[in-house]
Structure 1
Amino acid sequence: MASQLSPGPEGDKIVRRKLSDQVLARLRQMIRTGALKPGDAMPSERALMERFGVGRPAVREALQSLHNSGLISISHGERSRVNEITAGTVLDRSDEIARLLLDAVPSNLEHLKQARRMFELGIVRLAAEKATEGDVAELRDLVARQRALLGTDPVPFIQTDMAFHARIAEIADNPIIAAVSVAMLRWLFEYHTALLHWSGKEEITLAEHARIVDRIAAHDAEGAVATMRDHLDRSLELYARSEGPTEAGT
């Protein structure tokens, strides 16, 4: 009597992959291994068709997938080129998803603020340990530029405020830390750009920024953390009491 095979797991099924998926996998591998480097022009559609033995639709679909994921840039009338991938470019492509996440689940805004607080306290400790005289001078310049914006449109004030916090993150000399810091600031504040208003706390914000710079300049890590904590706690408390907009100071 012939033996009967019992139904196997889903993994036993043979799935025929789309040609475009196979082309996509090959091209990704070429980018990963450096066969195609940042700035390189992609091979022409005809060259790829001949190399992989597929038709133009499979090649075009694979190239579009690479473009959608940010690995290449497609320009009409020009050859597609391989993009340089950095932490910043990866997070830039997450902006729309982040906005959807904040819209869909309001509690995620609180979670993001908590994460940003923990992140900034770690960053300012590193900044106090590593800051050069040049770093301190640039931070003081940003405080002065922000002060010069008092009484004007609140958006440039907020943008300079964001630049101040982003510059502190740059002192860590870690591109991932710098990119995550900028992304968090962008998600928190650009998300509310249409609702920005003056809170009357701008002078307090500027004084706190100046004290943070003083602690960084003195290489006082504990003092910098304590000053930043007070600054963020005040800001987040005001933020939570508003009906959406941030106060003009982070």
Structure 2
Amino acid sequence: MGRHRMLACHYTSIPNHAIWQLALRAPRAWYNGVNSGPFSVHDGPGTALAPVVPGPLVTRSGLTMTEKQAEPIARRKLSHQVEERLLAQIQDGHMAPGDLLPSERELMALFQVGRPAIREAMQNLQRMGLIEIRHGERPRVAEPSLEQAISQMGETMHHVLAHSESSLGHLKEARLTFEMEMARIAARNRTQEQVGQIRSVIEAQRQTQYSAPEFLALDGQFHLEIARISGNPIFAALSEALFSWLAKFHAHLVRSPGHEDLTLAEHTAILDAIEAGDSERAAREMSDHLNRANALYSGRHNQRAVTQA
């Protein structure tokens, strides 16, 4: 209450700029205007700030701000500020891929901060895939890599897929649509050399069908080679990522033990359609292949649920 009285009294000695500073820091009730209650802030004899009602704050000079905008500016971590400055240098083109960054000591002197702030900023930039850090060497700007950018999403995807059944369903739907389109494009663009490459992958799968890890890796290679026919590196990176996320976190969606011969037959049917240049048949064969795998998963999932109940 003492602080409230201080604001209401001796107002003639408070400069105008101090009134604005007090207004930013005081609760709204402290400056409800003249004669509106015990907590009035005046700017001089016979004058007062306009009565404040719920809504924007208005200063004497007419500046309007919301309560959110008028909140005190929070202090930010030094490492975040260092990170932003280095990021700006990279994004503005002042440092190109392969360029060496200043040493830790040079950055400490440049930004006038301690070693922990520099190291934390560097670690954040490394996690973002923007710089490379090797023991005993100065950090350097990383070469752009779609594969690296997508692979860095792996742990985030693990978290999403592990805790959201709907997200897993959305991922399966997205993969189905994507793989069908890759099959269509492959049927239109394929060369005999590319078809031969994929046939060699199927044959390698046939030789390793009793080795689960190798069979699974070659399954991903089959889908990757189809995406590569598009000539678009983003499609290839997405194909690899979609398969690897499922293989790593939900392997039962991309491999069904005991059904290796069926997988090989379906892969062969997909490739035959691609080789024949029949884009719609290729897409249909791909759809049947992935929907069959999804159906097997759903059956096993429901069976486990009944058993556990």
TM-score by length of 1: 0.87
CA contact (8 A) 2:254 2:293 kept: no
After the TM superposition, which of the residue ranges 5-14 and 226-235 deviates more from structure 2?
5-14
Query: For residues 13-92 of structure 1, what are the structure 2 equivalents within 5 Å?
Result: 13=71, 14-92=73-151
| Aligned ranges 1:1-250 → 2 under 5 Å | 1-4=47-50, 7=57, 8-9=65-66, 10-13=68-71, 14-150=73-209, 152-193=210-251, 199-243=257-301
Structure 1 residues 59-79: Cα deviation after superposition (integer angstroms, max 9, x where no partner) = 223212212322222233222
Distance 1:135 1:24 in 2: 44
Residue 5 of structure 2 corresponds to none
State the shift of 1:224 in Å: 0.9
* Contact 1:154/1:196 (8 A) holds in 2: no
Go from structure 1 to structure 2 and tell me whether the alpha carbon gap of 1:143 and 1:195 turns closer, same or farther (over 3 Å shift): closer
Distance 1:195 1:238, change over 3 A: closer
Amino acid of the residue matched to residue 127 of structure 1?
Answer: A
- Checking the alignment, whether the CA contact within 8 Å between 1:67 and 1:73 is kept in structure 2 is yes
Q: Structure 1 residue 105: deviation in Å? A: 1.6
Q: Distance in 1 between matches of 2:253 and 2:278?
A: 36
Alpha-carbon contact 2:246-2:253 (below 8 Å) kept: no
Counterparts of 1:194 and 1:164, CA distance in 2: 17
- CA RMSD of the aligned region, Å? 2.4
Aligned residue pairs: how many?
243
- Supply the AA of the counterpart residue of 1:3: L
1:165 shift after superposition: 0.6
CA 1:233–1:154: 2 relative to 1, 3 Å = same
Q: Which has the higher contact order (CA 8 A, sep 6+)?
A: 1
Amino acid in structure 1 at the alignment position of 2:165? P
Cα deviation for residue 198 of structure 1 reads 5.4
Deviation at 1:37, TM superposition (A): 2.2
CA contact (8 A) 2:188 2:279 kept: yes
Question: Is 1:155–1:196's contact at 8 Å kept on the other side of the alignment?
Answer: no
Contact 1:124 1:168 (8 Å CA) reproduced: yes
Shift of residue 50, structure 1, vs aligned partner: 3.4
CA gap 1:100/1:196 in 2 versus in 1, 3 angstroms = same
CA distance in 1, matches of 2:102, 2:127: 18
- CA change 1:196–1:176 in 2 (3 A) is closer
Instruction: Give yes or no for contact 2:273–2:282 (8 Å, CA) kept in 1.
Output: yes
The one-letter code of the counterpart of 2:89 is M
Identity across the alignment (%): 42
Displacement, 1:24?
Answer: 1.1
Deviates further, 203-212 or 79-88? 79-88
In structure 2, do the counterparts of structure 1 residues 204 and 115 end up closer, same or farther at CA, with 3 Å as the change threshold? Answer: same
TM-score normalised by structure 2 residue count: 0.71
Kindly state the Cα deviation for residue 130 of structure 1 after the two structures are TM-superposed: 1.4
Q: 1:172 to 1:194 in 2, by over 3 A?
A: closer
Give, in angstroms, the shift of residue 213 of structure 1.
Answer: 1.1
Structure exhibiting the larger radius of gyration computed from Cα positions? 2
* Deviation per residue, 1:174-221 (Å, 9 max, x gap): 222211111111111221459997543222211221121121112211
